[in-house]
Amino acid sequence: MLTTENIHVAIVEDDHEIRQTLALIIDGTPGFWCKHTFEDCEEALKTLPGVYINVVLMDVELPGINGIQGVRKLKPQMPDTDFIMLTIKQDDETVFASICAGASGYLMKDTPPTELLKAIEEARKGGAPMSANIARRIVQSFHQIKKSPLSDRETEVLKLLSQGMNYRSVAKQLFLSPHTVKTHIKNIYQKLHVNSRGAAVRKAIEDKLI
């Protein structure tokens, strides 16, 4: 029976078998409801902001717009919705990029159904569900954080660049002139020993500077 007390779940997953299996498990469990499933982010972006959804299970690797980009686009439109990444990838860069994009949790695709349902409930209660090995990697990464060579302002600039903003947008956001932003970017390149925006963002994520 459909009620607002049910946890309404949507799934974005390009593998048909996985998508259908997850939907059947969730929709067949009392207290859960799942009728919105998508094979790509493009369709999810068109539909999800207009429907009542509590939790979105989002595949990381999708054709076209990937899961991280999808969460980054959807979260501002759905601030009360929790996004849980489902993936086979557990590298630090992907995990942290997902969290920075707005994901509430990060689970491996082989997570048992009972644990997946508990994770969905945990997310709705304000938790941040993660597979044990992912949580361990995050704790270890915090122990390995390097002292940043960047100033606070340079870090702010780099964070905005990592979100896809151009120089003028960064300048407007930080109330700076475009010339000042370019100077900060030049200093960032020198300090990180890189010569492009992509390389700067990649190194900053790898070194946990942003």
CA 136, CA 145: separation in Å to the nearest integer?
A: 15
Domain-located, residue 159: yes
What the block records as the tokens of 164 is 């896809």
pLDDT of residue 163: 85
Dihedral angle computed from the Cα positions of residues 183, 184, 186 and 187, in that order, rounded to the nearest 10 degrees: 120
Per-residue pLDDT of the chain in tens (210 residues, 90 and over written 9)? 444 579 999 999 999 999 999 999 999 999 999 999 999 999 999 999 999 999 999 999 999 999 999 999 999 999 999 999 998 877 767 888 888 889 999 998 889 999 999 999 999 999 888 877 777 666 666 554 557 889 989 999 998 988 888 889 999 999 999 999 999 999 999 999 999 888 888 888 887 787
Tell me if 26 is assigned to some domain: yes
Give residue 1's pLDDT.
43
What is the pTM for the complete model shown? 0.65
Per-residue confidence (pLDDT) for residue 87, from 0 to 100: 87
Residue 2 in domain: no
The answer to whether position 60 is within a domain reads yes
The last residue of one of the domains, among 142, 174, 193, is: 142
What is the maximal distance between C-alpha atoms in the chain?
60
Cα separation, 53 vs 123, in Å, equals 13
Q: How many domains does the chain have?
A: 2
Amino acid present at 157? V
Q: Give the end of a domain, one of 142, 168, 184.
A: 142
Please check whether residues 57 and 116 belong to one and the same domain: yes
pLDDT score of 205: 84
Same-domain status, 157 and 55? no
Instruction: Tell me, yes or no, whether 105 and 138 share the same domain.
Output: yes
User: What local confidence, expressed as pLDDT, does residue 57 receive?
Assistant: 97
CATH number at residue 187: 1.10.10.10
Give the model's pLDDT for residue 23: 96
On whether both 30 and 54 belong to a single domain, the answer is yes
Per the listing, tokens 């700076």 go with: 176
- Show Cβ contacts of residue 82 under 8 Å, excluding neighbours closer than 6 positions: 54, 55, 56, 104, 105, 123, 124
**CB contact at 8 A, 74 and 43:** no
Asked if 46 and 115 sit in the same domain, the reply is yes
Domain termination site, one of 111, 142, 173: 142
pLDDT at 24: 96
Give residue 44's domain range: 7-142
CATH number for the domain that contains residue 52? 3.40.50.2300
- In terms of domains, do 201 and 111 share one? no
Domain shared by 37 and 130, yes or no = yes
